[in-house]
Structure 1
Amino acid sequence: MTPPLTARAPERTTRAGVGVGFAVDLGSHGGRPALVTGTEVLSYDDLADLVAQAQTRLPASQQLVGLVPAPTTEFIVAYLAALAGGHTVLLSRDAVLPRAYGASSAWVDGGFAPTGRPEPALHPDLRVLLSTSGSTGSPKLVRLSRTNLESNADAIASYLGLTTDDRAITTLPLDYCYGLSVLHSHLSVGASVVLSGRSVAESALWDLARATGVTSFAGVPYTFDLLDAAGWPELPTLRQVTQAGGRLAPERVSAVAERGRREGWELFVMYGQTEATARMAYLPPALTAAHPGAIGVPVPGGAFRLAPVDGHPTGVGELVYSGPNVMMGYAHGTADLARGPELTELRTGDLARQNEAGLFEVVGRCSRFAKLFGQRIDLDRVETLLTLGDHEVVCAESADATRLVVALAGEPDPHAVAEVATTAAAATGLPEHAIAVVPVAPVPRLPNGKIDQAAVARLEAPQAGGPEVSAGSSLAALYGAVLRRSRVTESDTFAGLGGDSLSYVELSLRLERRLGRLPSDWPDRTIAELAALATDGPRPRWVRLDTGIVLRAVAIVLIVGTHTNLFTLLGGAHVLLGVAGANFARFHLAGTESRARVTRLARSVARIAIPTSLWIAAVCLISGQYGWRNILLLNDALGSHTWVEPEWHFWFIEVLVSMMIGAAALMAIRPVAAWERRSPYWFAIVVLAASLIPRFWATATGYDGDLIHSSTFVAWLFVGGWAAARARHHGHRLLLSALLVAGVQGFCGDPVRETVIAAGLLALIWVPTVPWPRVLVGAVGQIAGASLYVYLTHWQVYPHLEHRWPLGGLLASLLVGIAVWRLVDHVSDRGLRRWRGRVAL
């Protein structure tokens, strides 16, 4: 039976204690079925007993409990036990979040266990913490109270007309507010839930639904795409289907509702946000035929108003919701967990109007965000990531709210289109079929020169029919672009193509966006092998980045931040020497042909030395600050043996170049190169021991020169990184760690600096990859990739800001370094293409 157009907010009696109502009242539903797992049925009495037992494992005082959601009885018991006891639950599949917020307890091996972390201060009404939906780049959490949870569960149960005879099945994750609301609303009325982790595309899910008499299931727009492709299930007991998590196109609403009318079930189109606990509006099924594009009316107890927005006609405004389910506010850190309710209404960010039937319709977004597949997509962030890949793009949500439209300027080849599509998919978590990359000659603009967002939203991807681009050929084109090679085949490898540390960062991050997860040995794998790893679909929010990339980014920030007086943490440059040594071993010692090795080394030295000399020469001409020894990178060899500014500013680059030239000379000796190929680890250990001799001699003899900036005395750091890349087991790593820690001890005369160096070197030895938020991969990649140019240029940038605004000095240095890196890359790329053109003629 269809509920009326408006419904009265349900009344709830006041309960003693602090527990959430539907978790406290489980026993009131007696022997009725509560949870169904396969053929096993757990009654409300049994569930109440299990919850009571689990509660005894938690202290009486309010705790922050970290739980990993799963469609299992064990998780439901743990979750309800925490809610019934008045505790606060942080639901997340990401283990980092509970630790970051200081979760005091966690569910371990069938019971709650203390984590040993300091207990954060919690507001007494705070019950659930959920991540906001989508890729906004923010780690903020939504704070939900007991009132939020109870009122929204009751409202949903009211307008859906749920009874004790209803039975839902879990088709959505339980850390997603929509999926969680299905559990809450059914428990609140004594209905039952079938627990399953299977996809809606699997026939086994629907076999279970038929066997258990499921009466409803929930879906986001993608759910209905999967059902259309795999086939809709036959469920004789089905009473209703609910849809939320993004706009379903009006024609799809009509088609699904018509299917329901034929098969005897009703479609409820719903609208909500995590910030409103789950639901804010619903469209009564009787109105789907006449108003398939509407979100409907507010849920019982809620209300809408339209706030005027500049530039939009009368009657169209931002949709603002008020009701008892509006969140307490956001949490950006542990201090926010003690804050009370801060909102009385929720600005949704959606543009809406109210039609002649009194129904609300969403007509667009107020800001640069799109809501697709239940995710909130930051369009500006996506555009920035694509621009970093040297593409001029404009992004918009399609007019029918089903796709992300990416207008790609110019006349791109199929490889560029494929790269933009895969990069956009990785940045947003959307499946590639939901991204339309549309080549456009000029980007659509309004008469005032601004981007015509409406025109971009209406763009349609060109029809298929052109040459199909395979994953292998697309990756080959990417390798060619980054490594500046005109002939790249799918049998080539990064190491075989002469890749170096400068190109490693950019290519590894772009490959990670393409493939989803990059194996650690990717430089030695063929392009064809990597192409076989490519997967479609959403990418995880966290990736594992090569430790060397993270160390490069962190080290250059430490260097510049210290120089600009933002903080004092020395040692970053010495860590970078270790990273350079590791990259030398990984990329320049690949293969067996000595001539090829020397050629690769010479090319890499030139990529470092030539831009450096040109920059120093330009600064010298303008300011006279440096001399000829600096321009020729010979200050370490021919200048003062003690630190003198500004002559020693570029010591790191001089050391790096001299190390690489020295290594090239060493590898040019055939017996030496043969020894290194036969026993790469022990060869590196012998060289390390030899390079430590000058360092310990200087300490023992009281050498009065610069010990920590001269090639002679810091070569062991470079060789230590080299040996780290050759270590193959714990024995290797333990010996190397001992040698390097011994080398660091007393090296600088500054315990903090020595600790930073030791920590960086040990991370290089023992930690191959580092977990990293996917949304921050672009930032760390830019900083790591530009680290050489940031170091080179920051001497002329930060002095203008170090005394007035140290943070500005750091940010300006990073931005200038990235800009110079991109400029050098662009100029050298154009020069290479021009040279190839002349050779071809």
Structure 2
Amino acid sequence: MTPPLPTSAPDRATRPRTGVGFAADLAQHGGRPALVAGHEVVSYDDLADRVARARARLGSAQRLVGLVPAPTIEFVVAYLAALAGGHAVLLSHDEVLARAYGASTTWADGGFTATGRPDPVLHPDLRLLLSTSGSTGSPKLVRLSRSNIESNAGAIASYLGLTADDRAITTLPLDYCYGLSVLHSHLAVGASLVLTDLSVAESALWDLARATGVTSFAGVPFTFDLLDTAGWPALPTLRQVTQAGGRLAPDRVAAVAERGRREGWDLIVMYGQTEATARMAYLPPDLTDAHPGAIGVAIPGGALHLEPVDGAVGHAAGVGELVYTGPNVMMGYAHGTADLARGAELTELRTGDLARQNDAGLFEVVGRSSRFAKLFGKRIDLDRVENLLTLDDHEVACAESADATRLVVALAGEADRFAIDEAAATAVAATGLPEHAVAVVPVAAVPRLPNGKVDQAAVSRLEAPRADVRALSPVDALTAVYAAVLGRHRVTADDTFTGLGGDSLSYVELSLRLESRLGRLPSDWPDRTIGDLAASAAGARRSRWVRLDTGILLRAAAIVMIVGSHTNLFVLAGGAHVLLAVAGANFARFHLAGAERSERRRNLTRSIARIAVPTALWVAAVLLISGQYGWRNVLLLNDAIGRRTWHEPEWHFWFIEVLVYLLVGAGALTTVARVAAWERRSPYWFAVGLVVAGLVPRFWATASGYDGDLIHSSLFVAWLFAGGWAATRARHAGHRLLLSALLVAGLVGFCDDPVREATIALGLLALVWLPYVPFPRALIGVVGQVAGASLYVYLTHWQVYPHFEHRLPVAGLLASLLVGIAVWRLVDHVSDRGRVLGRRHWHGLGASHPQLDTPSKETR
């Protein structure tokens, strides 16, 4: 027999608590089937035995159990065992979330396993933690009690008329409150559930449903879109279909209900939120014809009422915010581990939906009072979408369309195709919605109410134009992109990225924007003219995958590693050293190619200034406010004249100091005529020679027992910068093998940490062997933001993450990334505005200066 897990603090074991009823009382349904998975049918007696054994493994002390949901018998057994034993379950695919909240137990290889983390203090009533719909990745969770779960399961079973003869099939995820409620309500009455991960668009799902005698299935609006496309199934045993997870347009409700009447089943429209465990209202099926736009009446045991709201929409007759009361209202939100000990804090739930009650006493939702939309089962934070679009220099307003089928983005300003496409791509990436569900509508100005607030109702009614938008030619569109990213006013079809002074900071943003517009970019695109790129991309097909530059991916991954390790979320050191190699590669690509020597020198000086000046200003500001740093940090001289061993906080900016020194040194070296000629004649062997030269002091320090800091000093890490340089010059496998051997040899014993050395080695080898990696197009926007802001994330995170380090490290990571991205965009915006004002000043004096010719936001 497997011994129980180690017990927690004794006082937790004695705190009174009760298991969830339907999980603890499975045996009362005897030999009836409970679960069907493949060819296996598990009876309630068998399920009760399996749950009892798993429950014994958990022990008597209340635990926080982290479970990854899956439509399998094993998962259901683990989940029910935790509920039956009175434990709290954190249900999520996000394992970082479980670690952040301190889950002490998880399920693996058919049994519960201790994670090694002590249980947080848990309230004895707490049973379930779920993400709110659409908030995956957010640390905010909904806290649900035993009575929340039991009451909602019973209410759903009651108004659906479920009996032991019913059988549902898993058409929705089990960490989604709607999908989970199907499991709860069926187990509560001794009904059965068919477990499968097949899609409703697959005929195999409906073959399985017919073979197992399924009587019901659940769907969100997108489910019905898929069925309309793939074909509705013929299910002789089907009794009812339930719909929730977003508003289904009234005409669709009527059409689906009519289909049900023809085929002998009922459509039950439902309304709910995770904060109410699952369901708050339902529309009796005999009322769908007369009231297809209604959500219906409150579920048994609950009540709905309207409360007045401010604003123009609140003056509409009978409209108010929909408020629900009932035993299924959540205990409250959890923003961190301390909240898990809190008891029930709510007696009613303000839904954030605007509604009215019609003459038949049925409630109808007419809009949102809060800044969220509910589309395709996703909860869309409209403020977040607007903020991301604003970062792309667009003035916008977002709303859910009047028919609840699309996200409407009102785009103010000139209606060119480039701006519309860019805004649509950003909105799709930010929300996860399909492209057809985002309508970008150009408007002269964002619609506003007399009080200056955005007129949400007017935005929701906007329709995207079909053919009246002025389209840019492919070349004009690309020159606009180059001008916007590089801050140049005069860009022509004959210009190239390198010729325009592009550097590693602008490379990230420009390459990702070009990838989204043109599809796959050629590896030599920085040296190709804009006209050539536009011509070669004509007719290119946009796939779901792109070729992402390995350097960009490494930049994003490395900065996440750095900040995540500092916040104590995980320990994965070595990211900064990989970034040095990436910097060396970018120096070789962008500052040793094209243009005259004097122009290259100006471009490199500009790039160094873009790193050194913001750093000096930020450090000086922190020094003045908190006195945390010294004058050597402000002048980036700590590595040159400071102490030679690591001391915090003076060594916080070692990476930026080293990077500036190496860029200055590399630039000075390649301005020597003979050196530059050697580099042009033998680019690979020149770079390899730099690697070997850089390894000399590195191995001297090890051999001589040097007691200073080895891995954070420019003299001893310069070979990594040279290694990235050499990676761009390798032309065949022999070159790459020799370079790989040198780099790996340099890392052996370099950090006195094999894991750190292996991490750096993986990054270096990826840079040497993989110029591009396949990457999902939908995630490009996120990677681009993180990679583009990596300098500012590194710069500012020292002042951000300490506020979260010991309480919620995942919040420390997210906050550091968001602050860095915001500062990056702010600096970009301020510098652009400064150049525009400067250009206007010079033009006003009758002068023109080519360095001040940059585009205004209007021309972007």
Q: Is TM more than 0.5 here?
A: yes
| 8 Å Cα contact 2:122/2:341 also seen in 1 | yes
Q: Secondary structure at the match of 2:441?
A: strand
C-alpha distance 598-203 of structure 1, shift in aligned 2 (>3 A): farther
- Structure 2 residue 699 is the aligned partner of structure 1 residue 689: no
C-alpha distance 148-416 of structure 1, shift in aligned 2 (>3 A): same
Residue in structure 2 matched with residue 13 of structure 1 by the alignment: none
Q: Secondary structure at the match of 1:65?
A: strand
- Tell me how far apart the structure 2 counterparts of residues 286 and 62 of structure 1 sit (CA, whole Å): 45
Residue in structure 1 matched with residue 110 of structure 2 by the alignment: 110
Write out aligned runs for 1:204-219 (5 A).
204-219=204-219
Write out aligned runs for 1:121-520 (5 A).
121-135=121-135, 138-311=138-311, 312-313=314-315, 315-463=318-466, 481-482=484-485, 500-507=503-510
Which has the higher mean CA deviation after the structures are superposed, 243-252 or 760-769? 760-769
Q: Secondary structure at the match of 2:62?
A: coil
| 8 Å Cα contact 2:92/2:175 also seen in 1 | yes
Percent identity over the alignment is 58
C-alpha distance 596-348 of structure 1, shift in aligned 2 (>3 A): same
Residue in structure 1 matched with residue 587 of structure 2 by the alignment: 588
**C-alpha displacement of 1:17:** 7.2
**C-alpha displacement of 1:386:** 0.9
User: What letter corresponds to residue 221 of structure 2 in structure 1?
Assistant: P
- Tell me how far apart the structure 2 counterparts of residues 87 and 269 of structure 1 sit (CA, whole Å): 33
| 1:737 aligned residue (729, 743, 747) | 747
C-alpha distance 126-511 of structure 1, shift in aligned 2 (>3 A): farther
User: What letter corresponds to residue 544 of structure 2 in structure 1?
Assistant: T
Q: Deviations over 1:220-277 (max 9, x none)?
A: 1111111111111111111111000011111111111111112111111100000111
Residue in structure 1 matched with residue 730 of structure 2 by the alignment: none
**C-alpha displacement of 1:364:** 1.3
User: What letter corresponds to residue 364 of structure 2 in structure 1?
Assistant: E
Q: Secondary structure at the match of 2:259?
A: helix
C-alpha distance 435-612 of structure 1, shift in aligned 2 (>3 A): closer
- Tell me how far apart the structure 1 counterparts of residues 544 and 121 of structure 2 sit (CA, whole Å): 43
**C-alpha displacement of 1:18:** 2.1
Q: Secondary structure at the match of 1:349?
A: strand
C-alpha distance 87-471 of structure 1, shift in aligned 2 (>3 A): farther
- Structure 2 residue 665 is the aligned partner of structure 1 residue 659: yes
For normalisation by structure 1, the TM-score amounts to 0.75
- Tell me how far apart the structure 2 counterparts of residues 654 and 724 of structure 1 sit (CA, whole Å): 16
C-alpha distance 733-641 of structure 1, shift in aligned 2 (>3 A): closer
Q: Deviations over 1:35-91 (max 9, x none)?
A: 122343222222222222322332222221111111111211221122222222111
| 8 Å Cα contact 1:250/1:292 also seen in 2 | yes
- Tell me how far apart the structure 2 counterparts of residues 88 and 556 of structure 1 sit (CA, whole Å): 30
| 8 Å Cα contact 1:608/1:657 also seen in 2 | no
Write out aligned runs for 1:559-574 (5 A).
none
**C-alpha displacement of 1:701:** 12
Q: Secondary structure at the match of 2:53?
A: helix
User: What letter corresponds to residue 402 of structure 1 in structure 2?
Assistant: T
- Tell me how far apart the structure 1 counterparts of residues 228 and 817 of structure 2 sit (CA, whole Å): 53
**C-alpha displacement of 1:341:** 1.4
For structure 2, the 5+ residue unaligned runs are 1-15, 568-572, 619-623, 625-634, 644-649, 728-735, 768-772, 798-814, 840-849
- Tell me how far apart the structure 1 counterparts of residues 521 and 59 of structure 2 sit (CA, whole Å): 43
**C-alpha displacement of 1:675:** 5.2
C-alpha distance 404-240 of structure 1, shift in aligned 2 (>3 A): same
| 8 Å Cα contact 1:407/1:456 also seen in 2 | yes
Residue in structure 2 matched with residue 820 of structure 1 by the alignment: 827
Which has the higher mean CA deviation after the structures are superposed, 268-277 or 130-139? 130-139
Q: Deviations over 1:597-654 (max 9, x none)?
A: 97995464143356789999999xxxxx9xxxxxxxxx999xx9789x9xx9997786
**C-alpha displacement of 1:505:** 4.0
- Tell me how far apart the structure 1 counterparts of residues 274 and 816 of structure 2 sit (CA, whole Å): 39
| 8 Å Cα contact 2:554/2:579 also seen in 1 | no
Q: Secondary structure at the match of 1:151?
A: helix
C-alpha distance 424-451 of structure 1, shift in aligned 2 (>3 A): same
User: What letter corresponds to residue 152 of structure 2 in structure 1?
Assistant: N
| 8 Å Cα contact 2:416/2:470 also seen in 1 | no
Residue in structure 2 matched with residue 100 of structure 1 by the alignment: 100
Residue in structure 2 matched with residue 535 of structure 1 by the alignment: 544
| 8 Å Cα contact 1:323/1:345 also seen in 2 | yes
Q: Secondary structure at the match of 1:658?
A: helix
| 1:546 aligned residue (547, 553, 560) | 553
C-alpha distance 582-487 of structure 1, shift in aligned 2 (>3 A): farther
Q: Count matched residues.
A: 750
| 8 Å Cα contact 1:505/1:785 also seen in 2 | no
| 8 Å Cα contact 1:418/1:474 also seen in 2 | no
**C-alpha displacement of 1:696:** 9.7
| 8 Å Cα contact 1:307/1:319 also seen in 2 | yes
Residue in structure 2 matched with residue 77 of structure 1 by the alignment: 77
Residue in structure 2 matched with residue 799 of structure 1 by the alignment: none
C-alpha distance 17-439 of structure 1, shift in aligned 2 (>3 A): closer
- Tell me how far apart the structure 2 counterparts of residues 811 and 357 of structure 1 sit (CA, whole Å): 48
Residue in structure 1 matched with residue 811 of structure 2 by the alignment: none
Q: Secondary structure at the match of 2:344?
A: coil
For normalisation by structure 2, the TM-score amounts to 0.74
- Tell me how far apart the structure 1 counterparts of residues 475 and 239 of structure 2 sit (CA, whole Å): 48
Write out aligned runs for 1:788-827 (5 A).
818-825=825-832
Residue in structure 1 matched with residue 34 of structure 2 by the alignment: 34
User: What letter corresponds to residue 400 of structure 1 in structure 2?
Assistant: D
User: What letter corresponds to residue 379 of structure 2 in structure 1?
Assistant: R
**C-alpha displacement of 1:504:** 3.6
**C-alpha displacement of 1:426:** 1.1
Note the aligned Cα RMSD (angstroms): 5.4
**C-alpha displacement of 1:460:** 0.7
**C-alpha displacement of 1:130:** 0.8
Write out aligned runs for 1:716-731 (5 A).
716-723=716-723
| 2:676 aligned residue (644, 654, 669) | 669
C-alpha distance 149-399 of structure 1, shift in aligned 2 (>3 A): same
| 8 Å Cα contact 1:480/1:487 also seen in 2 | no
User: What letter corresponds to residue 509 of structure 2 in structure 1?
Assistant: E
**C-alpha displacement of 1:98:** 1.3
- Tell me how far apart the structure 2 counterparts of residues 389 and 556 of structure 1 sit (CA, whole Å): 25
**C-alpha displacement of 1:301:** 0.7
C-alpha distance 701-422 of structure 1, shift in aligned 2 (>3 A): closer
For structure 1, the 5+ residue unaligned runs are 1-15, 537-542, 562-571, 620-624, 626-634, 746-754, 792-807
| 8 Å Cα contact 2:69/2:92 also seen in 1 | yes
- Structure 2 residue 790 is the aligned partner of structure 1 residue 784: yes
- Tell me how far apart the structure 1 counterparts of residues 348 and 669 of structure 2 sit (CA, whole Å): 66
User: What letter corresponds to residue 369 of structure 2 in structure 1?
Assistant: C
- Tell me how far apart the structure 1 counterparts of residues 71 and 369 of structure 2 sit (CA, whole Å): 36
C-alpha distance 774-302 of structure 1, shift in aligned 2 (>3 A): farther
- Tell me how far apart the structure 1 counterparts of residues 335 and 794 of structure 2 sit (CA, whole Å): 33
